[in-house]
Each structure stands twice: as C-alpha cells, then as structure tokens.
A and B are shown apart, each in its own frame.
Chain A
Amino acid sequence: MARYLLKRFGYILVSLFFIITITFLLMKLAPGGPFTSERKTSPAIEQQMLEAYGLNDPLYKQYFDYLINAVQLDFGPSFKYDGQEVTDIIARSFPYSLILGLEAIFIAVAFGVFLGVIAALWHNKFPDYTAMVLAVMGISVPSFIMATILQYVFSIKLGMLPIARFESFAHTILPAVALASTPLAFIARLMRSSMLEVLHADYIKTAKSKGLGKRIVTYRHALRNAILPVVSYMGPLVISVLTGSFVIEKIFSIPGLGNEFVVSVTNRDYTVIMGTTVFFSVLLLVTILIVDLIYGLIDPRIKVASKGAKE
C-alpha cells in the first residue's frame, strides 16, 4: 500500500513537472509580451517593468525561478492587475467554484443514479424510455445552451430564481443544474447498463430465492455493486464540472476560478493562466488518486497494491 502510494505520488510529480514546463514554454512562445496590449509606454518604462517582473533574465533562469516558486505555491504577480498575486486570486475565487462544483457533482450523481436505476428496473418500459430520452438530450445540449435556457425559463419568464451572481443558495441552483446536466446524463446511462448487468447476476437470483423482498434485493444487493462504475467516473466528472465552470461562471457572472481563468485568457495575463492551469491540474490529479483509493476500499475485489489496479 505504502509503495503503491509512493509510486502514484511519483507519477503525479512527473505529470506536474511536465505540465509546469509545457505551460511555461507555451506562455513564452505566445506572441507579444505581457505589456504590449496596453497603451503605448516609453521604452524606458517598459524596460523597467520587464526588470521588475524578472523578464529580462535569461530563459533558463526564469524557468528555474518559476519552478522553484511553483513548488512553494507561489505563482508570481498578475501582469494585468497591479499588486495582485496569482495565489491570492486563486484563494479568493476558488471557494465559489468549489461550492458550485460540489453542488453540481452532488446533483449529477444523485439524479444520474436515480434515473439509471429507474431505467434499469423498468427495462424496455415507459420509465426506461423516458429516462434514456432525457439522458440523450442531456448529452446533446451543451451546458452553455442549457444555462441560457434555464435563465430564460426560470428567471426571465417565471421569475422564480435569480438570473446571475452568487449570493444565496437560490443563486447557486441554476448554475449548478446547468453544470450538472451533461455528466448527469452520462451517469444515468452508465448506471442503467451496470444495473442491468448486476440484476442478471447469480447472487441476485440467490437473494431472491432466499425470499428477500424486492426492495432489499434492489437497494442492498444490486445497487451497491452497480454503483461501482459511477465511482470510477468521478475523474471525468470532476474534469467536466471544472471545464464547464469556464462558461457557466461567465454566463451567471460568478466570481469563481473558472471565470478568472477565462478573463485571464482574454487579457493574456500569462502568470494567471499558468497559475490556474497548474492549480487545476493538481486538483485533478489528486482527485483521480483519491478516487482510485476509494475504489479499492469499496470494492475489495480490486487490490490497490496489485498491478492491475491503475487501469
């Protein structure tokens, strides 16, 4: 177990090293310096600014400085917003994204599993078709269109929920639903096929023939096993919620990290872009590790330490 963990941490570090290096190089390749888009500055001032941000150093020195600082979670100052550290921007905006993301994940998992189970229990009957039509629509309607539809229906036409901003629980409902819609549909399909498979398994037949009630067989015996693929879907789910937040936070004017990333992209604020990218990657790599560990815990058939556990 300890060896496995060590190995996984090793991979995470290698991946991070590559990600930091590649983002650093990409941002150096980007056309135009960070100050070119601003109004014309005199060469002397520009020289001074380059000096102040350490952009006059040779590339390898800039790279090592960046690498060392990044390890200490210091991504340097923002180029566009004077006196703001990238770390501060992340610390300020991430809580919003975290709340939104957790809510979206909760909605996606809860409703996705529910729909999938319904569909499997009434296989090839009306509830199955309804659930699967909903799922196909969820996959086909992009989150940003879903967000606009939700805003139009629930805020403009019905006036039930606030259209934008992030102040109370009511404000979080629409963006969380929009963010959850696509992964929800995927989970529903995943859950349906895995539930169908489990319901035909021998041990379910045994449980039924022991005379256990339908409810116990379904929820205690079948559901527990059928939910395993959904657990392994947590990685893609987090990715989907994370990237979805770029547009959803923009549409709903939520001051979260996704919005911050998009703004930094339009501003060409290179340090913020790099910082958020590295932060997103850490978040993701750690999530995937945690998911793998949980998977080993809830499914004893998969031994975490064994070789095949990673796949």
Chain B
Amino acid sequence: MSQVKLQQADFEPLHVEGKDAERIAGESTSYWKDAWRRFRKNKLALFGVVVIILLGIMSFIGEPISGQNYSENDLINANQSPSSEHWFGTDNLGRDVFARTWYGAKISLFIGLMASLIDLVIGVIWGAVAGFYGGKVDEYMMRIADILYSVPYLLVVILLMVIMPQGLWTLIIAMTITGWINMARIVRGQVMQLRSEEYVMASRSLGASNSRLMFRHLVPNTLGPILVTLTLTIPSAIFTEAFLSYLGLGVPAPKASWGTMSSDALSSFQYYPYQLFFPALFICLTMLAFNIVGDGLRDALDPKERK
C-alpha cells in the first residue's frame, strides 16, 4: 500500500450552503423502484420473465411461421416423426404438432390468464369488503368461503364440467367458481392489518367514503401480495386445465390445448413419444416460468419474507 500524502488543505472544511447540508444525496426510491431493483438481481426470475414473453410471442406467431394449419387433417402423413416439413411431427390425424402446440399455447395461456383475472376481481372485492367491515359481515362472508373451500377445488370443477356444456368459457367459469377464495383470504388478511393505519383515519376524517377507502387506499397498498398470488394462480389454472383435458373434460375438438394434446398422445406414447413430449414440455416450462417469477416477485416485494 502506498502512503497517502496528506496536506494541510485536506483538512479544510468543505464549504456547504446551509440548505444543501440537509439535502439527501441519493436518489429517492419508491417501493416499486426498490422492488424492481431487487427483482432485477434475481437472474432466475428474469429468465422466467423471458420465457413467459417468448411463449406469449410464439403463441401468436408460432402457427403462422410453421406454414401449417392446426386443425387440418392429413391422414396419409399421420404419426410422422419431426422433419423439416413438420417440425414437431404430426399426430394420429396427421395434424402438425408444431402448429397445434402454439395454438394450444394460446388456449392454455388464455385460460390461465382469464381464470386468474376473474379470481383476482372477485377475490379482491370479497376480501376487501370482508376485511374492511369486519364483525358480522366478515364472519358470514368468510363462513361462506370456508364452506366452499371445504370441497376439494378439482372436485367442484369436475362436477361443474359434468353439468355444463363443454367449452372454453365453461372451463373458465368452473375454475373461478371457487378459485377466488384464496385471493379473498389474502386480501382480507392484508386489509384487516391495514385498516387501522393512520393514513386510513386521515382519509376518513377528510370525508372519504368507504368504497374510496377500500379501493383507493387499502387495495393499492396490498398490491404486492395480490400480484404474487396472481402470478402463482396462473400456473395452477394452466395445470387445472391440463388436468381436466386429461380426463376428457377440457376444451372440445378441434380446439387444442396442451392438456388435450397430451391426453390424445398418451394412448400411443410408447410408439410416438414426441407427440406427448412437446405439449408436456411446454406445460412444465410454463408452470416453471410462472412459479419462479412468482417466487422472485415475493422475494422482491416482501423483503421480510426473504430467506
């Protein structure tokens, strides 16, 4: 280490204006900026985001760039292995697996997003109202949720799928009918914690209405946990869709989802494993991506939980 040469001048006090002395030198960060900074450091979660974006893009351009149609039968070319013409091969009706995979991506992602968004709306309103009013309202609302919750989720969905006509929206409705409860519980817990905060009292004393308090003040402050729950609901919705399709209760033909594709491929998977491989791979990849992004968001938004 070299010796530092100190001079008399180094000990002169810096001349600082009175006002500047109190200035905070660092740029101020908000909650979201801070969260983004933490999230950005998480390479795995960023990878998940990239995967999700790629899957989203491919679900739109995948079918067109293959030059094939997802529903066109071509029985002469049935069960072909992957080739330059059919990149992922063809299925038992000669349909192009590559085109079907990306068409299926659109359906699977749409179901996942839609179901989660509906869960979000119902869950947030239910949870916010129950948590905000408390007392009897809370007790009755949560008792209803508890009873609905005591029947296994998939059982309810299957029962509903039995009685309703098969279709995309049926699937989404069946999934959301008890799916919102989880969100409602989380929002309720958060709102109950927050409702006695000073800023709520301040706003109330300025004459804010209950609905304004709930949806302008309380809900935005629970956005972190809501976002995490939303991200983690999407893979579970995609899983449920695949699960139901697997039992033959999914989207009806000729529509394809990853679940119906895996289900169709199962009977012949000893001979044509690639037919199962691609949809199964993308189900896993999508669930993996959403799960790690959800975990990453949780770590970023709630540093206390960090382990």
Binding site for B on A (CB under 8 A): 14-15, 18-19, 23, 26-27, 29-31, 136-137, 139-142, 144-145, 148, 152, 156, 192-193, 196-197, 239, 242-243, 246-247, 250-251, 262, 265-266, 268, 273, 277, 280-281, 284-285, 288
Contact = CB atoms under 8 A, between A and B. Distances in A.
B150 A285 contact: yes
Nearest to A288: B150
Interface in B278-302: 280, 283-285, 287-288, 291-292, 295
Interface stretch (B108-116, B209-217, B246-254): B246-254
A247 B246 contact: yes
Contacts of B292: 136
Contacts of B154: 243, 246
A311 B108 CA distance: 34
B243 A265 contact: no
Interface in B105-161: 147, 150-155, 158-160
B247 A250 contact: yes
A234 B44 CA distance: 30
Given A139-B287, A144-B262, A247 B162 contact: no
B247 A152 contact: no
Interface of A is mostly: helix
A160 to B, nearest CB: 16
A104 to B, nearest CB: 15
A142 B283 contact: yes
Given A18-B147, A26-B163, A265-B249, A140 B287 contact: yes
Contact of A268 (B162, B242, B246): B162
Contacts of B75: none
A151 B122 CA distance: 41
Contact of A242 (B152, B159, B248): B152
A193 B304 CA distance: 12
B270 interface: yes
A139 B284 contact: no
A142 B242 contact: yes
Contacts of B152: 239, 242-243, 280-281, 284
Given A142-B242, A144-B262, A243-B155, A136 B307 contact: no
Nearest to B154: A243
13 contacts: A23-B159, A26-B159, A136-B292, A142-B239, A145-B283, A148-B266, A148-B280, A239-B152, A243-B153, A265-B247, A273-B162, A277-B151, A285-B150
